[in-house]
Chains A and B, each alone.
Chain A
């Protein structure tokens, strides 16, 4: 995988320690016309993000090694990855987590279960937002 370029399809980094979910979203994203990279924990997510500079990151919050909040915080604190939108994904529907996620720097928050098409719709929305902003 190489760095994203305007001509290429957007690269989505899907971070989730639950393989079925991660692979399902990856498959559907590819099916929907995205390039997809995957990471199984926070550390991998950071490595991938620095290495690939994806267009958007789907970050599960409950992750081994480094959790999603911490990983997001580090990404947002790094000049190389600061601009990359992070969509938080969580199965924890208890309140406060979305605030916490936003506090960590997440741009959007999606509660699982989230159907693949809904997730893709959200990704497109964020990217369109970002694209609009970049266009300006």
Chain B
């Protein structure tokens, strides 16, 4: 910074004076001190009455008095003129390329003492319009050589200075340059009040009178924020540029914007401190940062998720009862679950034995993995490993399946080995084997027992055959017996019959009575023989069914006729009662007749007085024929009502019994009824009589 210093009054040598001015001008970095040096030097060395330097101000096109010597403040002010006025002598002079002498009084050019006129000397570079004028008041029109020299030196210097900031507004070029910068640029004082602002900065921080209310408010807010930030930055007194972030509002769009503020402390030409601020719009950057933050947060979340997934996987793997090991392609263990750890890591308080067992397990597993790694192309390897429980030393037979895990490019990324404890399976197999042994033993025993059983069965079969043979022998015996009885009985009955018929002559009544008794006893004997024979025949299955169609009334008539002699002797009222419309019967007539004969003879035998009724009925609903023999005899005690149908059973079987008979009659009746597909029932009250009924189907079927 140069400042004006008055020169010595004694005139120095011309060369020295010129050198001093040149040095002074070189030291100047602004137009004003430069001009002051020039006018001072001229009034001293060129013996000018007064001198002044005016320059065109940009923008505005005004002439400004940069420096004056020998003029009053008012005279200086008179020199300042609008350049739009072409008739103004100074504006006119500015349009000239050569110095001119303006003599005599002239408007706008003040008079100074004895000076006859004013030289107007254009200042600037050769070939370009002058930027200012040097005014020198002199007495004659001869231009002093010092003036020409000063003008030729000071002109280019002044022109150079005119390109820089010549005043608070700056030059037009400068203005255009900073307006071209896309970021807002400001020159402010330390409190943030703007001295200079480019178009972008004005858009943010300046509102014209015609601006809308919203815009004015936004600008006001921005100004406040900016001023606060700037003044706090200035107070910080940080050397060099400083960076801060400033949130501002776009006054037009109303959007929040974020700027990075770069400030640099500078000195203005007048020596005051100022701040140069450059605002860089980092809103997008902020958004990007925000997005980045979001991505980062998501990444973290994903990572956390992955970690929890990994933990979950770990827990899942740990919860698997079977050991699982993940190995690297090199064979090193990457991960193992808890069950695997129990096998392949020593327990916390492991002794040397446990360590040795773990090493042994590792060795076994490594050699197992080597099988898979050595086998080209095969993805899986299965093997039986004899591992040892490190804690207890118990053998843990394991089935291991190692599978290669291939990456997307087909490269081996790892090996998963699953172990399966075979102890249980082996134990089961052992038990199964034991079971088989026992089963075999049991089977052998069963075979022995079966053989014994078969032997027993054979014995039983033989016994059965013997029994059958014995039974057949019995039947044969009875048949033979019957025959042997019949043959003499036939003769006895035959001769008795003949005698009674008088074949051998007339008999006396006593003879006749005796013969009748022989006949009666013979017949009884025959009856007994017949009954025994019937039972034998039925038991031997040699009683065939002879089925035919017949009618009940005729059958009952025959029965009554056969029983007539006994009925007559019994002196009982015997009657038959036939239900109307009795249907024809298909069955074994002989057997039906025999049953009815037996029942009737039974009734006659056990009835002393009263009556005997034979009743025949038919129940269409069940197609059942019923023939009942009702008596008024001694009846059967309920206790005996079932028993009397059994073989050889009689109500009274004592030696003193009152009624004779074999006890086979009712038994035969029941067997015959069964053969007919029917049955014999009994209703009886002791002392009041009995009702024996033969029930049989209208149509007997062969079985």
Q: Using CB atoms and an 8 Å cutoff, list the residues of chain A in contact with chain B.
A: 18, 20-21, 24-25, 27-28, 31, 62, 91-96, 112-117
Contact = CB atoms under 8 A, between A and B. Distances in A.
A59 B490 CA distance: 15
B497 A115 contact: yes
A34 B483 CA distance: 28
B486 interface: yes
Contacts of A31: 498, 503
Interface string B474-498: 0000010011001111110111011
Contacts of B482: 91-93
A112 B522 CA distance: 13
Contacts of B530: 93
Given A18-B487, A21-B487, A117-B497, A93 B503 contact: no
A92 B494 CA distance: 17
A28 B487 CA distance: 17
A94 B490 CA distance: 17
Given A92-B483, A93-B530, A116 B542 contact: no
Contacts of A93: 479, 482, 486, 530, 533, 537
Contact of A25 (B494, B501, B542, B544): B494
Interface in B500-537: 501, 503, 526, 530, 533, 537
Given A20-B488, A21-B490, 10 more contacts: A18-B491, A28-B503, A91-B483, A91-B486, A91-B487, A94-B533, A94-B537, A95-B544, A116-B497, A116-B501
A88 to B, nearest CB: 14
B494 A94 contact: no
A95 B482 CA distance: 13
B299 interface: no
A123 to B, nearest CB: 14
B494 A115 contact: yes
B487 A117 contact: no
A27 B537 CA distance: 34
B491 A92 contact: no
B108 interface: no
A20 B491 CA distance: 6
22 contacts: A18-B487, A21-B494, A24-B491, A27-B498, A28-B498, A62-B483, A91-B483, A91-B487, A92-B479, A92-B483, A93-B479, A93-B486, A93-B533, A95-B537, A96-B542, A112-B487, A112-B490, A113-B489, A113-B493, A115-B493, A115-B494, A116-B497
B543 A95 contact: yes
Nearest to B491: A20
Contacts of B486: 91, 93, 112-113
Contact of A94 (B479, B487, B493, B497): B479
Interface string B523-559: 0001000100100010000111000000000000000
B558 to A, nearest CB: 16
A54 B494 CA distance: 23
A24 B493 CA distance: 10
Nearest to B478: A94
A18 B495 CA distance: 14
Nearest to B542: A95
A129 to B, nearest CB: 21
B562 to A, nearest CB: 13
B702 to A, nearest CB: 15
In terms of DSSP, what is the predominant structure of the interface of chain B?
helix
B479 A28 contact: no
Given A94-B479, A95-B543, A117 B501 contact: yes
Contacts of A25: 494
In terms of DSSP, what is the predominant structure of the interface of chain A?
loop
Given A95-B542, A96-B542, A28 B533 contact: no
B495 A24 contact: yes
B277 to A, nearest CB: 147
A116 B497 CA distance: 7
Contacts of A112: 486-487, 490
Contacts of A62: 483
Contacts of B497: 115-117
Contact of A113 (B494, B498, B542, B544): B494
A91 B490 contact: yes
A96 B495 CA distance: 29
A95 B544 CA distance: 8
A89 B648 CA distance: 31
A24 B494 contact: yes
B417 to A, nearest CB: 90
A108 B242 CA distance: 157
Q: Select the residue from B491, B494, B530, B543 with max chain A CB neighbours within 10 A.
A: B494
A91 B544 CA distance: 19
A22 to B, nearest CB: 10
B490 A113 contact: yes
Given A94-B542, A95-B543, A113-B526, A24 B487 contact: no
Contacts of A117: 497, 501
B609 to A, nearest CB: 32
Contacts of A20: 488, 491, 495
A27 B503 CA distance: 9
A46 to B, nearest CB: 23
A90 to B, nearest CB: 8
A62 to B, nearest CB: 8
Contacts of B542: 94-96
A58 B488 CA distance: 18
Nearest to A119: B494
Q: Select the residue from A27, A28, A115 with max chain B CB neighbours within 10 A.
A: A115
Nearest to A95: B542
A81 B84 CA distance: 191
B588 to A, nearest CB: 12
B521 to A, nearest CB: 13
Contacts of A92: 479, 482-483
A54 B603 CA distance: 47
A94 B529 CA distance: 12
